[in-house]
Structure 1
C-alpha cells in the first residue's frame, strides 16, 4: 500500500495528461494484472487502514479520522483484524511500514494484533528516517515489535521498507503460507528529494515547476523501484508464481503536489480523486484486463479469505467477496452500494440552508460530512477539496468549479465520471434514497473520544512508545 499516491501519478494512468512521472515497473506490472479502476478507499490514512484490516465501515469502528501522535485510544480491540484471521488459516504474518491505528498502549500495536512481527512506524515518519517535527512534537517512531529502532547511516524510507520485506521473504519457511502487509510511508509529506538515481529523470524540471512536485516525482520513482525489488525477491525465492499481489494507495494524492487527473478532488475530500488510487491485482492464474467493477477497501478481507480458500467465519463485516468477479471478467461485482464515509461530527447548517433543504433534513442532517454510492449515483454532504488538479508540469490548466459547492451534491458517475454536473434537483427520489441509507448507518455510527495526551510526545526527539501500559 502506497501513501497518498495520486490516481494520475503512475505512468500507465498518466497517458495524455502531460505528466512527467516515471514508473516503469508498475507500468509493466499493470500490463499483466487486473487493473481495478473502480476501487474505492477512504479520504485519508487511518480510515482506509482500519477498513482494510477489519472489513468494516469506519462508522462502525470509530476510525473515521486520523489517529496521530499523542492520540488516545486506537482501533478498538474488540475488532478482529485480517492478520488474526490469516493466522487461524495457518499463515505466517508480517508487517513492514506505517501502522496508524493506535499506539498509546502496547495492545494496539501490530505485533499484538495478529502480526508475528512488525518493523515500522506507528504514525508518521520522515522519508529520510530522521526524527520528525509534527506541530509541537519532535518524534522518532521507528520500532520493531514495540522496541525503538535506529537506522545507521543514510536510509530512504522506500528502500528501507523493501530491504526489510526482502529479509522476511528470504527467511520464510515455505512449508507455511506467508502474508506480508507492506505499508509504505511514500509518498506522504514531508516531500524530500529521493537519492540521486531517482532524481535524474526529473532534473530538467528543476526551477520550472513547483518544488514539491519535483520532490514528489523523485519519491514516486523510489517507490516504483522498491516494489520492483520486492517482486524480484519473490521471484528469487521461487514464490512469485504462487503470490497474490495487491497494490493500492490509501487515498488520493494531496492537492499541494499530486495529480489525480482527470478525476476531481484530492486527499481529505470525497470527490473521486480523494478516494480512488491506482490499484492492481496480480496472480499467475489471473488474466489481465481493466476492471470497472465497483470495489471497496473493506472487500479485501473476505476476498483474500476466499482466494486462499479459508472458511474461517468473518464476524459481522461490511466487505463482500469479490474473488470470483476479479478472476472472471464476465462476472458482475456483487457490490452495488457502499458507504464511503460518515463522520461522527456534525453541525447544523445555516438557517437558509435548513430552509432550502427542509425535507432532506428530516431524513439526515446534511451538516454531517458523508458520502455514499448506489449503482451509478453518488451523494456527498458538506463536500470539500473539489478542484481538478492537472500535473504541474503539464500544459493542461487545473481548474476550480464554476459555481460554489452545494451543501448536498449528487452525481451520476456513469454519465459524468469527473463529477462536473451536479444533478440533485433533477433526481429528488435518488437523493431521498441515498439520504435514507446514510440515516441507517448513522444509527450505529461510533464516535471514539480521541484525546491529545502530551505524555505521548517524547522529549528531545526521542522514541514514541506506548505510554499508557
Structure 2
C-alpha cells in the first residue's frame, strides 16, 4: 500500500497584530496565513500537577508560565488521551485510535514495533502544504531505521527512540555483564539515516529536556528566517521516571526531585514562549501544552490525578484526563475554560483543517474537526464520547458526563484487568472518582447512547481490520 496523495486545501486567513513588545507580528507571503504550530507534549504529567489545574504550589513548584498561557488561551478540563505512552503518541500522530494501528501497547522489547510507514502522520500531512516539521524529545513509535521520525514526515529530529526508564540500564552491572543493548540519544534528517549519539544514561536523562528546548528555539528561528510555516512537535521526557531535574534546577524548590522537575518543565515552556515573542510570530502561532497520559504510580515518582482517581495504564479518569491548553491570539478565545469532551485524535484533524491540508480518505480517521469549537464559533464540542481501550481491551465508553465500564476498576498498571459480569455506569459530574456506580432502571437509559458508540466502533473494525502489532512495512 502506498500513502495517499494529500490535497492542498484552503488556507485560513490570519490577521497581523502587535506582539507584547509592540513590534509588528511577522507575516511572510510564503506563509499565506497558515499558522505555525508548537505542540508541547509532557510525559506522564497528571491532571493535578499544573497550577491552573489545582497543582503548582500544592505540588511544591509554582508553574507561572504555563498558568499564564492558560489565561491567554483556552483550557480544557475534559481533554482525553489513551492510557499508555505509545498508544497516545500514535493517536496524536495519525488521528486514529491506536487499536487500528498496531500500537495499542507500550512495546516491552524484541520484535518490530511502532507505526508502519503506511500510516500518515500529522507531520507528513502538514509537509504537503509547505510546513517545516521537526520533533525534539521522546518518540516511542518505532526504534528501527525507517520508523524513526525522519522517515515519518519530520524534516529533522533529536531525542530518544523509546522510553526514559531505559536510562537506568547503563548503571546496572548485571545489564552490562549480560551485554544488554543500551538506548542512545539519536538525531536525523529526512532522507538520511538517523545516527546514534551518547548512551541515554542517568546523566543524559537530566540534560535532555534543556537540549530539546534549545533545539526547538533554533528550529523556529530557522523556519521564520526561511519564510516557511512550521510544526514543532516537542515531546519532552519530563516527568517520566526517573524524574530527575537538570542540575540547574536540582534543589530549586527544596521539596525534592519531582517538584524541581516541575519547575524545570515550566521554565522550558517559558523559553519556547519567549522565543515565539522574540521572533514576532506570536499572533500567527498556535501553542498547545498537554500530556500523553495520566501520572505514574511508582514511588518516589508518583504523580497527581487531581480530582480524578487512578493512574496511567487504566481506564480510570486519572489515566484519561490530562491538562490541555491551546493559545492562538486573536483566534482562540483567551481565558475560556470548557468541560466539553475532546480526544487527542481530534488534534490531527483540527490542525490539518486550520493549515489547509487534507486528511487521508483511504482509511478510518477517528479525529473530529474541532476548529469551530476551539475558535469559539461553537460552544459545544464536535464529540460526545469515545471508546476507551487499554491495550487491546475495550474497557469502557465515555458519553457526555457518563462512563460505562466493562472491567473493574484498576488503580495502577499492576492491577489485573477483571471483566465485569455486567457493566457499571458512573456519573462523572456527581461522582468524579468513580466510586459509586449508578444502579437500577432509573439510570439504565444512558447505556443506550454509550453502547451505540461502542457498537459503531466495533463495526468499523470489522469493515477495516486493525493492523496487527509487529506488522512489517509494506
Pick the TM interval, shorter chain.
0.7 to 0.9
Per the TM alignment, residue 198 of structure 1 is displaced from its structure 2 partner at its CA by 4.8
SS at match of 2:42: coil
Residue in 1 aligned with 2:314? 269
SS at match of 1:199: coil
Q: Counterparts in 2 of 1:84-95, with a 5 A limit?
A: 84-95=124-135
From 174, 180, 191, give the equivalent of 2:232: 180
2:437 pairs with 1:417: no
1:400-428 per-position Cα deviation (integer Å, ceiling 9, x unaligned):
xxxx9956322122333332321154434
Change (3 A) 1:140 1:62: closer
What displacement does 1:194 show?
3.8
Distance 2:278 2:449 in 1: 53
Where 1:372 maps in the other structure, the secondary structure is strand
CA distance in 2, matches of 1:277, 1:122: 23
Alpha-carbon shift at residue 386 of structure 1 (Å): 3.4
Structure 1 residues 115, 17: closer, same or farther in 2, change over 3 A?
A: closer
Contact 1:186 1:223 in 2 (8 A): yes
Q: 1:324 aligns with which of 367, 372, 391?
A: 372
Q: CA deviation at 1:254?
A: 1.1
CA gap of 1:222–1:128, structure 2 versus 1, over 3 A, is farther
TM-score (norm 1): 0.78
Select 1:441's aligned residue among 413, 434, 457. Answer: 457
**What residue in structure 1 maps to residue 345 of structure 2?**
298
Cα 1:440/1:324, change in 2 over 3 Å: closer
Whether the aligned pair in 1 keeps the contact of 2:297 and 2:311 (CA below 8 Å) is: yes
Secondary structure class of the residue paired with 1:156: helix
Rounded Cα–Cα distance in structure 1 between residues aligned with 2:153 and 2:222:
19
Write the distance in 2 (CA, Å) between the matches of 1:142 and 1:70. Answer: 19
Match of 1:103 among 143, 149, 158: 143
Contact kept? 1:68, 1:123, Cα under 8 Å: no
Map of 1:112 onto structure 2: 151
Decide whether aligned partners of structure 1 residues 238 and 69 sit closer, same or farther in structure 2, where only a CA change above 3 A counts.
farther
The alignment's C-alpha RMSD in Å is 3.2
What is the deviation of 1:341?
Answer: 1.8
Distance 1:15 1:226, change over 3 A: closer
Unaligned runs of 5+ in 2: 1-40, 189-193, 413-417
> TM-score, normalized by length of structure 2?
0.77
Structure 2 CA distance for aligned equivalents of residues 128 and 174 of structure 1: 37
Q: Does 1:377 align with 2:402?
A: yes
1:195 aligned to which of 247, 257, 276: 247
Post-superposition offset of 1:255: 2.0
Which whole-Å CA distance do the structure 2 matches of 1:216 and 1:29 have between them? 22
- Report if the CA contact (8 A) 1:424-1:431 is conserved: no
Gaps (5+ residues) in structure 1?
206-213, 345-367, 388-403, 452-466
Q: 2:103, 2:469 within 8 Å by CA — same for their partners in 1?
A: no
What secondary structure sits across from 1:248 in the alignment? strand
CA distance in structure 2 between the aligned counterparts of 1:380 and 1:89, rounded to whole angstroms: 41
SS at match of 2:275: helix
Distance in 1, matches of 2:361 and 2:285, equals 23
Which residue number in structure 2 is paired with residue 81 of structure 1? 121
- 2: CA distance, partners of 1:98 / 1:244: 21
Alignment check: 8 A CA contact 1:132 1:139 kept: no
Matches within 5 A, 1:217-366: 217-256=259-298, 257-285=302-330, 286-288=332-334, 289-311=336-358, 313=360, 315=362, 316-328=364-376, 330-341=378-389, 343-344=391-392
**2:122–2:352: 8 Å Cα contact kept in structure 1?**
no
Any idea what the Cα deviations from partners look like across 1:423-445, whole Å, max 9, x if unmatched?
Answer: 15443454465345435434526
Query: Which deviates the most, 310-319 or 1-10?
Result: 310-319
After superposing the two structures, state which structure 1 stretch, 252-261 or 4-13, moved more. 252-261
Q: Which of 34, 53, 62 is the aligned partner of 1:13?
A: 53
Report Cα offsets for 1:195-233 as digits up to 9, x if no partner: 2535222x2x4xxxxxxxx32221111111111111112
Is 1:44 matched up with 2:84?
yes
Q: Deviations over 1:286-319 (max 9, x none)?
A: 2221011110010001111222233455553111
| In 2, Cα distance between equivalents of 1:98 and 1:432 | 40
Partner Cα separation in structure 2 for residue 34 and residue 447 of structure 1: 35
Distance 1:17 1:423 in 2: 35
| Distance in 2, Cα, partners of 1:18 & 1:100 | 31
SS in 1 for 2:124: helix
Q: Does the alignment pair 1:67 with 2:67?
A: no
C-alpha change, 1:28 and 1:108, in structure 2 (3 Å) is: same
Secondary structure class of the residue paired with 1:280: strand
How big is the shift at 1:21?
Answer: 3.0
Query: Structure 1 residue 386 and structure 2 residue 438: aligned?
Result: no
> Contact 2:346/2:369 (CA < 8 Å) preserved in 1?
yes
- Contact 1:39–1:297 (CA<8 Å) still a contact in 2? yes
Aligned pairs, number: 405
Question: Corresponding residue for 2:35?
Answer: none
